[in-house]
């Protein structure tokens, strides 16, 4: 679309136009002057956002079906949003990842923080998986896929349409093959000396979580010669990293049998299969059972799903994090290490730390925090958007 063809939407007089000028990426539905025209703008349409005095602020992607009514795409309201514009954003994102990593396995685009609101792209060598979690990206998915292929040279591009974010945007769950053919087998992903198996079509999200890479590496340093317990392990995230780092043994616990199968396949590919055990079951039940058995580990790590995905779920989520800490702490041998993680953006670091420390105390243990970790640099933080800094990892010595 050319700038002259963009519809116009306007902020209410009391809306914070200064925040948009200073880089805030979202405009909520209660900040927009809404009438029949604006409510009937098709989801994914690009529009010019004006302040209450009709001064242009930015080009935005509109979705009247979402609480986030508009997402800022471009400060220059004269810009053309097309395949070339997408390619420029992708080139900028790629330059950072190529500086950070020697192999093409990383998060290539981290949504707003990389200037592509709502878009997540994970790269797996010659394949890439796009999660278009905003309506505008769905509308431009063909241009996005072609720009991605042109910039990176990937030969397979998949669209993953699952997840809570698309539901909140009122989008469908229709996955698609955008380029090439879907891999017939899991993709081997080298990371921190371990080998992970990523199921790009049937796995969680895009198939693998790259965000924990630096925290896996830290845990591996603690785990040399250690007995390791990895709870909520998915495809063996911490367990495989610790085994690659010299752990004596690792037990991976998860509720998904397919995920544990991938963990075992990764251990086999990495030559550490004889030191990995797996246990399928509800994590809380397994933690309780291990406590009843008197089991002890030198390193225990719990990396649960988002217990507090929204502000409404915060209190219940914090109680769940406290419970994890309370059940996990007794399993740590004296002088051992406990790693506790949260991917809930609604639970900030202070609240999460308080919940974990309270749980450890309720278990009759005491400890010192030796490390606080976050997502890797391929998951950059947008300073104006707290949600982009969702991941926290606390490591205690008990």
Q: What residues are labeled active site?
A: 343
Check residue 203 and report its DSSP letter: S
> Of 62, 92, 55, 93, whose CA–CA distance to 77 is shortest?
55
Q: How many angstroms separate the CA atoms of 129 and 249, rounded?
A: 33
**Neighbour count for residue 178 (Cβ, 10 Å):** 18
CA max distance for the chain: 70
Measured CA to CA, the distance from residue 57 to residue 42 in angstroms comes to 21
Residue 28 CA neighbour count, 13 Å, CB half: 7
Q: Of 366, 276, 267, which is closest to residue 325 (Cα–Cα)?
A: 366
- Residue 321 phi, psi (nearest 5): -65, -40
C-alpha to C-alpha distance for 200 and 183, rounded to whole angstroms: 7
Rg (CA), the chain: 22
What DSSP character marks residue 34? -
Structure tokens at 310: 């929204």
Q: Please count the other Cβ atoms lying within 10 Å of the Cβ belonging to residue 315.
A: 12
Q: Distance of CA 224 to CAs 210, 278, 331, 335, Å?
A: 22, 20, 18, 14
3-class secondary structure, 363: coil
- Tokens 């590496």 sit on residue: 217
Angle between helices 213-222 and 237-244 (to 10 degrees): 50
Pairing between β-strand 227-231 and β-strand 249-254 as defined by DSSP bridges: parallel
Q: Which of 338, 103, 344 is nearest to 230 (CA)?
A: 338
């Amino acid at each position: 679309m050319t700038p002259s063809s963009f519809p116009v939407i306007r902020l209410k007089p009391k809306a914070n136009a200064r925040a948009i000028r200073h880089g805030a990426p979202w405009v909520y539905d209660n900040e927009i002057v809404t009438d029949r025209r604006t409510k009937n703008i098709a989801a994914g349409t690009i529009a010019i956002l004006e302040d209450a005095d009709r001064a242009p602020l930015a080009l935005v992607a509109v979705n009247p079906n979402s609480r986030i009514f508009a997402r800022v795409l471009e400060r220059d309201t004269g810009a053309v949003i097309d395949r070339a514009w997408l390619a420029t954003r992708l080139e900028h994102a790629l330059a950072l990842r190529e500086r950070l990593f020697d192999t093409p396995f990383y998060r290539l685009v981290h949504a707003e923080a990389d200037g592509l609101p709502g878009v997540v792209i994970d790269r797996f060598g010659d394949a890439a998986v796009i999660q278009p979690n905003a309506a505008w990206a769905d509308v431009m998915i063909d241009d996005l896929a072609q720009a991605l292929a042109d910039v990176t040279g990937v030969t397979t591009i998949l669209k993953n349409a699952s997840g809570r974010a698309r539901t909140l945007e009122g989008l469908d769950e229709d996955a698609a093959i955008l380029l090439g053919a879907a891999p017939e087998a899991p993709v081997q992903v080298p990371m921190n000396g371990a080998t992970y198996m990523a199921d790009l079509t049937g796995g969680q999200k895009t198939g693998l979580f790259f965000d924990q890479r630096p925290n896996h590496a830290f845990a591996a340093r603690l785990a040399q010669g250690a007995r390791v317990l990895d709870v909520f392990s998915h495809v063996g995230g911490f367990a495989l990293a610790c085994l690659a780092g010299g752990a004596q043994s690792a037990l991976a616990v998860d509720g998904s049998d397919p995920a544990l199968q991938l963990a075992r396949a990764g251990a086999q590919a990495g030559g550490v299969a004889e030191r990995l055990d797996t246990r399928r079951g509800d994590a809380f039940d397994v933690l309780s059972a291990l406590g009843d058995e008197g089991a002890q580990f030198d390193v225990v790590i719990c990396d649960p799903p988002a217990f507090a995905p929204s502000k409404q779920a915060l209190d219940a989520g914090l109680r769940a994090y406290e419970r994890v800490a309370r059940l996990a702490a007794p399993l740590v041998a004296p002088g051992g290490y406990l790693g506790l993680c949260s991917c809930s953006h609604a639970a900030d670091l202070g609240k999460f730390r308080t919940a974990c420390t309270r749980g450890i105390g309720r278990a009759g243990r005491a400890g010192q925090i030796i490390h606080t970790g976050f997502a890797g640099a391929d998951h950059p933080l947008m300073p104006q958007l707290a949600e982009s800094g969702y991941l926290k990892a606390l490591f205690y010595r008990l």
